[in-house]
């Protein structure tokens, strides 16, 4: 009997392993497969609430996890591609979409999945065709996911042959709250609601768990899924936190509605959900899949009329930080890529705002006790704005454009990469430089003053776009210029009088400043190429 137990546990572990690897592969390739196209879809979502609900349902059906759709929505809302209330409509309807996977698990798809894993896996391993690698990876991951779940299903039923396991399951009969809490806890531990629902279905089919206990376990799984989202997003704030908390409250709202109804039905004899499932006259596995879908549909319909009020309440409860607007586009607007030349002008204006983010680093107070935290806030804002601009640039790259427009897209995309690299170096070096420059009469102070003068000259050229300013910035930042020469000479002189630890810090700072000046020179050269082209002004 013990050998049989090890045999079953081995296959169950194999099923779990295939399931979780499948999730990882799906997540990895789905991000690359749907990046640009999904941004385009989200842009269309902003038109009506019903479109948001429609696309939310199907995106939930593809991603199959509430956490995945939540993070996807957070990235798009943070980029300014979709309004908060539309995002809530999308999240609300994505939850019923995530319930569709269970219906596939109760269908006889074993042979189809075997062919899918075999063909997609072979093509994926040999990278044939190369252009479809992400699609093949997605299909291969889905195949592994289903193979793992079918393995769990096949061998999980064998637990009924063990008397000790039957006694444990018999002890849970009528312990509805215990089963509910167990479903929620197992979901958090396994990080997958679908896996726990499948185990519940297997136990119910084997007669080890009653219909009512299985129903309560599924309710617990849905609450556990919202707890997963809560745990994964504890450090978020502002609008991203609002999106995450909507999903958390979604689980609690469903629980508050359906769990009391369950006890009204059981203790009061009022025919409700369990009676409806029994009236379907179908297999127990299908009944449980319907129960899972019913939980989401009832919760979604209950929230629908409250979406506007809930959006406002979330905004008050988790207000966005003061600098959150700095991470969103100010000029770009949904579907502006339909007019490529105008969109490129707007992208250029947004890139100027990235220059303004760099200037914020220079304004940091070196005596502040929160210098590192303030620098991190600037970094996060700049990264958010960069991602938003990159999304619009990608939409233009995938269009058929005139030759001159293609060149301009390439130039702006290259400049965007320079801004990203420059901002990262500012974030890494400026706080340290300011700490070393607290005393103006030190070598660190003199070094920082020289760099600050060069940086302000470059940022002036970024803001004005004037040829004279650009020419001055080029002279200051070119290789072998007086600025770099003074930096190197200053370091040589400093090493004679500084302590060894200070020498190491200054050497690291000089290296960082040289990288910054080289990147600023690359930025100015990019501006020089575009200087002859008229720039759209803010009041245009």
Q: Which string of b and e fits 308-333 if b means at least 16 CB within 10 Å?
A: eebbeebeeebebeebbebbbbebbe
Q: Would you tell me how many other CB atoms lie within 10 Å of the CB of residue 48?
A: 12
The answer to whether 523 and 419 are in contact (CB under 8 A) is yes
Judge whether 221 lies within some domain: yes
Whether 304 and 339 map to the same domain: the answer is: no
Judge whether 276 lies within some domain: yes
Residue pLDDT, tens place only, 291-304: 989 999 999 999 99
Task: Report the 3 state secondary structure along 98-145.
Answer: CCHHHHHHCCCCHHHHHHHHHHHHHHHHCCCCHHHHHHHHHHHHHHHH
Identify the sign of the CA torsion 483, 485, 490, 491.
positive
Whether 157 and 223 map to the same domain: the answer is: yes
Whether 87 and 221 map to the same domain: the answer is: yes
DSSP 437: T
Residue pLDDT, tens place only, 101-135: 777 766 667 778 888 888 888 888 887 776 777 77
Longest dimension (CA), the chain: 90
Task: Report the 3 state secondary structure along 488-533.
Answer: HHHHHHHHHHCCHHHHHHHHHHHHHHHHHHHHHHHHHHHHHHHCCC
Judge whether 9 lies within some domain: yes
Judge whether 539 lies within some domain: no
Which of 317, 346, 373 is at the close of a domain? 317
Residue 256's pLDDT band, with cuts at 50, 70 and 90, is: very high
DSSP result, 320-350: PPGGGGGGS-SS--TTGGGSHHHHHHHHHHH
Whether 277 and 354 map to the same domain: the answer is: no
Residue 363 belongs to domain spanning:
335-530
Whether 412 and 290 map to the same domain: the answer is: no
The answer to whether 295 and 254 are in contact (CB under 8 A) is yes
Alpha-carbon distance of 424 to 516, in angstroms, equals 10
Whether 459 and 491 map to the same domain: the answer is: yes
* Domains in the chain, number: 2
Q: Which string of b and e fits 58-90 if b means at least 16 CB within 10 Å?
A: ebbbbbbbbbbbbbbbbbbbbbbbbebbbbbbb
Residue pLDDT, tens place only, 322-368: 666 677 787 887 667 778 888 888 888 888 888 888 888 888 887 77
Whether 302 and 431 map to the same domain: the answer is: no
Whether 307 and 343 map to the same domain: the answer is: no
Judge whether 309 lies within some domain: yes
Whether 463 and 422 map to the same domain: the answer is: yes
Residues 6+ apart with CB under 8 A from 291: 214, 215, 218, 273, 277
Closest to 407 (Cα-Cα) out of 530, 520, 521: 530
Whether 348 and 216 map to the same domain: the answer is: no
Q: Which of 250-259, 338-347, 428-437 has the lowest mean pLDDT?
A: 428-437
Whether 489 and 432 map to the same domain: the answer is: yes
Residue 255's pLDDT band, with cuts at 50, 70 and 90, is: very high
Judge whether 265 lies within some domain: yes
Judge whether 540 lies within some domain: no
Which of 317, 344, 375 is at the close of a domain? 317
**CATH number for 504:** 1.20.58.220
Judge whether 538 lies within some domain: no
Whether 473 and 439 map to the same domain: the answer is: yes
Which of 317, 345, 369 is at the close of a domain? 317
């Amino acid at each position: 009997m013990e050998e049989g137990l090890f045999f079953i546990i081995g296959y169950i572990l194999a099923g779990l392993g295939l399931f979780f690897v499948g999730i990882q592969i799906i997540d990895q390739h789905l991000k690359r497969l749907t990046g640009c196209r999904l941004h385009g879809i989200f842009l269309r979502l902003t038109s009506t609430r019903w479109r948001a609900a429609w696309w939310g349902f199907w995106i939930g059906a593809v991603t199959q996890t509430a956490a995945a759709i939540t993070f996807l929505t957070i990235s798009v809302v943070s980029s300014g591609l979709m309004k908060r209330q539309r995002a809530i409509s999308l999240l609300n309807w994505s939850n019923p979409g995530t319930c569709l996977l269970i219906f596939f698990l109760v269908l006889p798809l074993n042979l189809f999945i075997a062919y899918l894993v075999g063909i997609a896996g072979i093509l994926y391993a040999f990278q044939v065709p190369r252009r479809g690698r992400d699609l093949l990876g997605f299909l291969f991951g889905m195949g592994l996911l289903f193979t793992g779940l079918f393995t769990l299903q096949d061998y999980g039923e064998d637990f009924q042959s063990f008397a000790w396991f039957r006694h444990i399951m018999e002890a849970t009969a009528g312990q509805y709250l215990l089963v509910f809490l167990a479903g929620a806890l197992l979901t958090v531990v396994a990080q997958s609601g679908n896996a726990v629902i499948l185990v519940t279905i297997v136990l119910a089919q084997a007669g080890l768990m009653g219909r009512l206990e299985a129903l309560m376990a599924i309710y617990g799984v849905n609450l556990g899924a919202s707890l997963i989202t809560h745990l994964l997003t504890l450090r978020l704030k502002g609008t991203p936190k609002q999106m995450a908390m909507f999903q958390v409250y979604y689980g609690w709202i469903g629980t508050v509605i359906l769990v009391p109804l369950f006890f009204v039905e059981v203790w009061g004899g009022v025919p409700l959900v369990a009676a409806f499932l029994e009236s379907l006259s179908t297999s127990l596995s299908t009944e449980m899949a319907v129960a899972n879908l019913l939980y989401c549909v009832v919760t979604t319909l209950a929230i629908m009329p409250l979406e506007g009020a809930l959006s406002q309440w979330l905004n008050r409860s988790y207000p966005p930080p003061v600098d959150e607007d700095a991470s969103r586009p100010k000029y770009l607007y949904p579907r502006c890529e339909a007019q490529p030349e105008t969109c490129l002008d707007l992208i250029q204006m947004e890139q100027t705002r990235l220059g303004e983010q760099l200037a914020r680093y220079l304004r940091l107070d070196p005596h502040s006790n929160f210098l590192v935290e303030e620098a991190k806030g600037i970094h996060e804002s700049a990264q958010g704005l960069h991602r938003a601009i990159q999304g619009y640039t990608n939409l233009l790259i995938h269009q058929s454009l005139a030759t001159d427009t293609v060149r301009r897209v390439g130039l702006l995309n290259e400049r965007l990469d320079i801004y990203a690299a420059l901002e990262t170096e500012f974030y890494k070096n400026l706080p340290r430089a300011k700490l070393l420059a607290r005393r103006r009469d030190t070598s660190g102070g003199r070094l920082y003053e020289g760099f600050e003068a060069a940086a302000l000259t470059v940022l002036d050229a970024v803001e004005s776009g004037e040829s004279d300013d650009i020419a001055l910035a080029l002279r200051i930042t070119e290789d072998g210029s007086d600025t770099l020469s003074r930096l190197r000479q200053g370091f040589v002189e400093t090493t004679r009088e500084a302590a060894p630890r200070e020498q190491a810090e200054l050497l690291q700072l000089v290296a960082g400043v040289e990288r910054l000046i080289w990147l600023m020179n690359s930025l100015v050269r990019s501006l020089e190429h575009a200087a002859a082209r008229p720039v759209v002004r803010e009041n245009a």
